[in-house]
Every structure is written in C-alpha cells, then in structure tokens.
Amino acid sequence: MATLRALECLVALVDEGSVTRAASLLHMSQPALSHQIAGLEKELGTPLVERMSRGVRVTAAGRVAAQEARTALAAAERAVELGRRVGAGTAGRLRIACAETMTAWLLVPVLRTWRARRPEVWLDLMEFTSADRMVEHLAAGGTDLVVGPEPTATTAHVEVLGREEMVVVSSTDHPFASQPSVSVEELIDQPFVHFDPENGMASWVDHFVASQQVAPLTPVVRTRSPRTAAHLAGAGMGVTLVPVSALTGSAPAAVRRLEPRVHRDIVAMTMTPSDALVRQFVADLRRKGVPDVDTAAVLHDAAAREDPAGR
C-alpha cells in the first residue's frame, strides 16, 4: 500500500519538475525522495516519471497517480484537522443514553448550550427505562455516555453527579394530601401503582420496601414509565413512589416526601473517560448540578394547575 509520504513525493515532483526542487520543498534528501518514487513505481508496476538531463518528465501513469494522490492527501489533511477539532471538543459526534426522566429534568439545559456553542458536534440521545439496559448498551459500544441512576453492576468509569429525592404521589383528594410526609409503613395497605420489571424502578421499590422490613406492596397496575405512574396516581388509581425527575410536566397530584427522606445517586458512566467530548459534557453536567427540586414547590405547582384561580 502506497504511503502518504510517497504520494506527497510524487505530487511535489510533478509540481516542481525537478528532484532537487521537490526534495528541497519537502525538506528531505534527493536520494530519499528518489527512493520513495522508486518504491511507488515498483508497487504500480510502471514508471511514473522519465529522468532527463534537466529534470523529469511525468508519464501518463504519473499524471493519473498524482491527480488521485492530491485527493488522498487532501482527505488526510481533513482527517487530521477534524481529529484536532474533535480532540478540542468543537466537532464530532456524542452518543448519550439517559434514563427517560432525566432528559427534561437534567439534560435539556446542557444540550441546549452545546447546540448553541458547538454547532458542529452531533448529539444523539437515546432514552431508557432501565439503568442495567443502558450499561449493556454502553458495554456493547452502542453509546458513549450514560446518565441515570446507578445500575446493579458495571465495569465502566462512574462519576456521581448528585442525588435526587424519591417522593410519594397520590391524588389531591387522597388522605396523603393532608399530611406533611408519608412513612413507608403507610404505603403497605394502599393500592400501589407499580413498575414493569423492565423498568429499574420495579426492583428499586421492592428492595427499598424489603430493606424497611415491612410487608410487600399491593400492585393494582404496572407501567414502564415513572411519569405515567405519577399520572395514574394523580388520577386516583393508587399511590406510587417516583423520583422527582418524573414529575416534570406531570398532571395535578399530591406530592409528599417520604419520612425519613430517601434519595438515590445520579451518575454518569462511560467506557472512554479520556474522550474529549465525553469529558467536557460530564464537566458541564457537574457544573450545572442535579436540580434541587423542593417538594413543597412541586405540590404548589400541581395544585395551581388543578385550580389556576387558587380557590
């Protein structure tokens, strides 16, 4: 396979018409340049230039090879330039997988900033309902960065971005609505809007309840989406436990803290922590920070949507 250096020598020789001038242009010795041309001729099986007493004359094969060599050299130059820009975080493609509740709650402000400041960076976003599925996708090379709750296990590089609170959601006419908070024990006898096993929240809720040494919950319906669970609970289907990130744009509902309060870590995971785009995106997430959502404000907002006049 012809090297870029050999192609560069051919182009210089064609342009200059002289081994002496071509070698000087490329800052190499005349024998070294002649060696490159000879190797290229051997690979092609035909002469590329005719040596004359006053310079060289390019053959038909030499002209065709030089024309294609210019294209190859220009492509190589573009590749190097693009590599530099990607390394500087100003170009390239970043594939992000996130928990579905994280998009509007955490990622949108950073995505918006990147779109404005890095227009040549392509952003691909995939949403999942399971942290374990996201990690599998990461390990298989399907994404560059994962943002969401901690998975069951991973060999990826993990950075904790912050914590989000888990809250109880019910309808506004449920007895929970008149309480300042809800204990785990109070959930036991309630119809519970649970989660499909494909959603990581299903195992989280079951493990959490088991860790409190109380009886299992009583599911009345299961869903893959925490947002849908909040809607169903607000509509009176039962009560549910969701992360506060699931309340973005939710329907009117009573939102109450657990007593004692419960949080989960939000992490960024990658197999390539040295990648410039990954590193800079995670840094921007850390600078922004996990939203500090006040549950009382969420409840007030839900009530306001239910009764805009405040009656």
Contact 264, 241 (CB under 8 A): no
The residue among 103 and 299 whose pLDDT is bigger is: 103
- Determine the average pLDDT of the residues in 291-308: 53
249-261 tens-digit pLDDT: 667 899 999 999 9
Q: In this predicted structure, what is the pLDDT of residue 310?
A: 46
Confidence at 294, pLDDT banded by 50, 70, 90 = low
Task: Based on the fold, state whether residues 140 and 239 are members of the same structural domain.
Answer: yes
Residue 8's pLDDT is: 94
Q: How far apart are CA 7 and CA 69, in angstroms?
A: 5
pLDDT band of residue 201 (cuts 50, 70, 90) is very high
My answer on whether 135 and 261 are in the same domain is yes
Please tell me whether residues 222 and 83 are part of one structural domain: no
Domain end: 87, 106, 126, which one?
A: 87
Confidence of residue 79 (pLDDT cuts 50, 70, 90): confident
- Co-location of 48 and 129 in the same domain: no
**Distance, CA of 109 to CA of 102 (rounded, Å):** 11
Q: What local confidence, expressed as pLDDT, does residue 260 receive? A: 93
pTM: 0.74
pLDDT of residue 215: 87
**Per-residue confidence band for 81, with pLDDT thresholds at 50, 70 and 90:** confident
Confidence at residue 51, expressed as pLDDT on a 0 to 100 scale: 81
Q: Which domain holds residue 143?
A: 93-311
> Is 115 exposed, middle or buried (CB count within 10 Å of its CB: 0-12, 13-18, 19+)?
exposed
Determine the Cα–Cα distance for residues 95 and 142; give it in Å rounded to an integer.
Answer: 8
Peptide bond into 260 cis (omega under 30): yes
Strands 191-195 and 218-223: parallel
Of 57, 87, 117, the last residue of a domain is: 87
Distance CA 276, CA 284 (A): 12
CA distances (Å), 90 to each of 24, 84, 125, in order?
36, 9, 18
Answer yes or no: do 214 and 250 share one domain: yes
Mean per-residue pLDDT of the chain: 89
Whether 44 and 69 map to the same domain: the answer is yes
Least confident of 87-101, 186-200, 217-231: 87-101
In terms of domains, do 204 and 73 share one? no
Q: What is the CATH number of the domain that holds 23?
A: 1.10.10.10
pLDDT in tens, 105-146: 999 999 999 999 999 999 999 999 999 999 999 999 999 999
Number of domains in the chain: 2
Residue 12 burial by CB count (10 A; 0-12/13-18/19+): exposed, middle or buried? buried
- SS3 state at 287: helix
How far apart CA 277 and CA 75 sit, in angstroms, is 23
Q: Is the pLDDT of residue 86 over 90?
A: no
- 62 plus 200 within the same structural domain: no
Structure tokens at 32: 């070294």
- Neighbouring-strand partners of residue 270: 157
Same domain, 69 and 187: no
Indicate the pLDDT class of residue 293, thresholds 50, 70 and 90.
low
Q: Nearest Cα to 199, choosing from 157, 227, 239, 160? A: 227
Q: For residue 286, what are the contacts with CB-CB under 8 A and spacing of at least 6?
A: 159, 161
For residues 83 and 158, membership in a common domain is answered with no
Question: Measuring CA to CA, which residue among 225, 224, 205 is closest to residue 216?
Answer: 205
Among 90-94, 139-143, 152-156, 272-276, which stretch is predicted with the lowest mean pLDDT?
Answer: 90-94
Place of tokens 């030499």: 62
**Domain-terminating residue out of 70, 87, 104:** 87
| Range of 53-57, 86-90, 95-99 with top mean pLDDT | 95-99
Residues 304 and 196 in one domain: yes
Report d(CA 269, CA 139) in Å as an integer.
10
pLDDT at 122: 94
Q: For residue 292, give the CATH number of its domain.
A: 3.40.190.290
Q: What is the pLDDT of residues 261-292, one digit of tens each?
A: 999 999 999 999 999 999 999 999 999 999 87
Q: Are residues 133 and 23 in the same domain?
A: no
Q: What would the DSSP string read from start to end of 83-142?
A: HHHHHTTSSEEEEEEEETTHIIIIIHHHHHHHHHH-TTEEEEEEEES-HHHHHHHHHTTS
Q: For residue 87, which of 270, 276, 273, 271 has the smallest C-alpha distance?
A: 276
CB 298 within 8 A of CB 168: no
